[in-house]
Structure 1
Amino acid sequence: MHFDFTDDQREIKRTARELLAARSSLERVRAIAEGDGAYDAALWEELVGLGWTGIALPEEHGGVGLGVLELAIVLEELGYAATPSRFLSNALAAQLIVGAGSDEQCARLLHGIAAGAQTGTVAFARDGVAELVPDADSARWIVLVEGGGAGPAARLYDAATGELRIDPRETIDPTRRYARVTVADAAAGEPLEGDVAGGLDRAEVVLAAELTGLAQRALELTVAYVKERRQFGTPIGAFQAVSHRAAQMLLETEGARSAVWFAAWAADAEPVSLSRAASIAKAAAADAGRHVTAAAIQLHGGIGFTWEADVHWLYKRAQLDAALLAPAAWHRRRIARLAAAGVSGGEHPAAPAGGAAPARASEPPATPAGAG
């Protein structure tokens, strides 16, 4: 059994790391966040030109024809750089449409998504209202998912038709744009009647990959700092309390990465294992993203709490990422139910009750309705 990336996958990772180091440095992230929040159009064109917006989409729909694992590699690097971009939201929508869309819908929608011309986004909604929708103000296609007794139901909306009210929202994360989306007409939109739960699982894996990248960058910045910062002539990293905290950061980051890579592999090669693997990945990555970035601020000491310290961009992004789609607590309950039932597949949550409010993103998200 092979437990490493292929040469092509390693090349994707290397290319992404080098490109984003040059085009999306933390200085550039800061400039965008402190400016008007507009994304870097030139960087988007480069990502599209590399084929990454369609990397996990079928070739017959304008994609590259690779898998979720390759997409997860790219998303981990985008998280590592905290890149301000609509790439994540577009990838989430693409994975849900691939899983739940009809042949006609896939043929109609995915070419534009793969080409980066007509982007999409996805979020949970409750009674026609989604409280936290990434990049809704620039998306052409918005997929809203609501729960029910028979499982999650997804509807596709064309933002150009006026079927939705889109109200931009300020959040703690100024590196990404968010909005509150309200359905104006209950009869609007069109259903995605395929495997909605499977599409959501693929989207959760993609989201977990970005969270893992955020944790990795926070870990690296912190290790570099505690090696350099000295007290009483000794690097603070040599103190037991600091080194133990850093070791816990490493443990959570590597645990999340292993879970994400397995889930991405399962999405491509062993779909029967995807439900449990996706829940393990999202729960581990959400916890790692929030805990590791918070620990990074603590271990930076007083400087870590200042606006000038770059670690807060990672912390803020991780809080919002963890609030998107289903919360970690729901995924842990799902893992327990699947283990008790002795199965690997199954279900996905209804919409979080009331939605996850951006202002309270650092608190535990509301329990998904009907997911108890």
Structure 2
Amino acid sequence: MTFTAEQDALRDSVRKLLDREADPWPELCEQIGVAALAVPERFGGLGAGTTELQVVAEELGRVLADVPFLGSAVLAVHAVLAASNDEACDRLLPRLAEGVVGAVAWTDAEGRWDAPACRVADSAVEGEAHYVLHGDEAEILLVVADGSLYEVTDARRERTAAMDETRRLARVRFDSAPARLIGPVDLGALRDVACAVLAAEQAGAAARAFELTVEYSKQRHQFGRPIGGFQALKHRMADLHVLVETARSAAYAAPESSRLAAAAKVHCSEALATVAGEMIQLHGGIAITWEHPAHRYFKRAHGAAHLFGSPADHLARVRPPLS
């Protein structure tokens, strides 16, 4: 993978800001403009591509940052753009570019991507959407129903408990909520962008989990020597290194096609789960204490694997149909 000087500078800026800010979203928006990356310049954005979104997501994944980047700067922005409604773009995209939080609701209680949970009748939305990223705090609430994107202001929102406390999810209930039609949206294309960016986030989390595990293996001694010096652990570390590197390669190849986006979702989910599991095992008892971050990477691995569809769902898109 080869990155441009601008992409490397973006990565460096995001990493430095995340190192010093406890609540990074305001500064990420004001100083770096991450919320404006995917917004075209004519709507007040930076007009960047998917690779730039992935660079930011990879860095956010490394520290498990709880920010509305994926749900707002990626999903909400791309949903509005996909509807091809200039009036809606003029009205919503400048606000999203400034860092106003947006959310897209569509998923049913089973977490399925291809079966929107809501429907429209007489210009009003009915139904209950689950796993809405930052849905409880979004100022711009969008919902996919009957193949189109709608803007809704009146909805009952509730933050839902999740094993991964670094991922903010909500349940949103629409009771005949007045809806403003934005336009038709290709949910499959939106899914592919989301999977590509999420895969980069997973690759970043896997890389950091691996780094922490290597560091610990050099510090922990057993039988008078660091455990990282034992041959069996060297082989395990080598296998994890390959997983991390292939996950990163798969993630950055994901935007090339729908099939590669599905493959990246499958491989990056499995890679992060494997690395996080090994992190827990090699750290021993300390890994499941609140003071150590190992359990947080393990929980992120589980939650991210099922976001936007489970690996099994996406594997079916990768495999060729049986003749």
Give the whole-Å Cα distance in 1 for the aligned partners of 2:40 and 2:208.
31
- In the TM superposition, what is the alpha-carbon distance from 1:23 to its structure 2 partner? 1.8
Aligned position for 2:46: 64
Cα 1:100–1:320 change in 2 (3 A) is: farther
Letter in 2 for 1:243: K
1:249 CA displacement: 2.1
Could you say what secondary structure the match of 1:56 adopts? coil
Change (3 A) 1:192 1:249: farther
The change in CA–CA distance for 1:7 and 1:174 in structure 2 (over 3 A counts) is same
The CA deviation at 1:187 is 7.1
8 Å contact from structure 1 (residues 259, 281) kept in 2: yes
Q: Which residue of 2 aligns with 1:14?
A: 12
CA deviations 1:85-120 (Å, max 9, x no partner) are 122211222223323443332232211111112533
- 3-state DSSP of counterpart to 1:326: coil
- Does residue 181 of structure 2 align to residue 200 of structure 1? no
Distance 1:237 1:154 in 2: 54
Alpha-carbon separation, structure 2, partners of 1:278 and 1:143:
24
2:150 alignment partner, SS class: strand
Residue 276 of structure 1 aligns to a residue in which SS? helix
Residues 337 and 141 (structure 1), Cα distance of their counterparts in 2 relative to 1, 3 Å cut? farther
With normalisation by structure 2, the TM-score equals 0.86
Matching residue of 1:124: 107
Residue in 2 aligned with 1:98? 81
Within the alignment, does 1:81 sit opposite 2:63 as a pair?
yes
Change over 3 Å in CA distance of 1:211–1:123 after alignment to 2:
farther
Kept in 1, the 8 Å contact 2:147–2:186? The answer is no
Correspondence 1:235 to 2:226: yes
Residue 285 and residue 101 in structure 1: after superposition, are their counterparts in 2 closer, same or farther (change >3 A)? Answer: farther
Distance, in Å, in 2 between the alignment partners of 1:220 and 1:281 is 21
The CA distance in 1 between the partners of 2:187 and 2:232, in whole Å, is 46
Q: Secondary structure at the match of 1:124?
A: coil
How far does residue 140 in structure 1 lie from its aligned partner after superposition?
2.2
Cα distance in 2 for partners of 1:80, 1:335 equals 27
Structure 2 residue runs of 5 or longer lacking an equivalent are 109-116, 119-126
Distance in 1 between residues matched to 2:204 and 2:180, nearest whole Å: 34
2-side partners of 1:198 and 1:250: how far apart? 31
Q: Secondary structure at the match of 2:47?
A: coil
* Residue in structure 2 matched with residue 301 of structure 1 by the alignment: 284
CA 1:15–1:278 in 2, change beyond 3 Å: closer, same or farther? same
Q: Which amino acid letter does the alignment assign opposite residue 266 of structure 2?
A: A
- The residue that corresponds to 1:344 in the other structure is none
Aligned length: 305
- Retained in 2: the 8 A contact 1:123–1:325? no
> Which secondary structure state, in structure 2, belongs to the residue aligned with residue 184 of structure 1?
strand
Instruction: Decide which of 251, 263, 284 is 2:254's aligned counterpart.
Output: 263
Distance 1:254 1:282 in 2: 15
Residue 336 of structure 1: aligned partner? 319
Equivalent position of 1:142 in the other structure? 141
* CA distance in 1 between partners of 2:197 and 2:105 (Å): 13
Answer yes or no: is the 8 Å Cα contact 1:123–1:324 preserved in 2. no
**5 Å matches for 1:212-223?**
212-223=203-214
Partner of 2:111: none
Structure 1 position 248, deviation (Å): 2.6
Q: CA deviation at 1:195?
A: 3.0
Preserved CA contact (<8 Å) 2:158 2:172: yes
- State percent identity of aligned pairs: 39
Within 2, Cα distance between the matches of 1:182 and 1:204? 25
Report the more deviating stretch, 135-144 or 221-230.
Answer: 135-144
- Distance (Å, rounded) in 1 between the aligned partners of 2:18 and 2:231: 34
| Residue matched to 1:254 | 245
Give 1:22-33 correspondences, 5 Å limit.
22-24=20-22
Instruction: Name the aligned partner's letter for residue 262 of structure 2.
Output: S
Tell me the TM-score normalized by structure 1.
Answer: 0.76
1:136: how far off?
0.7
Are residues 294 and 319 of structure 1, via their aligned partners in 2, closer, same or farther at CA, if it must alter by over 3 Å? same
Structure holding more strand per residue: 2
**149, 161, 182: which one aligns with 2:173:** 182
Distance between the aligned counterparts of 2:55 and 2:180, measured in 1?
A: 33
CA change 1:185–1:245 in 2 (3 A) is: farther
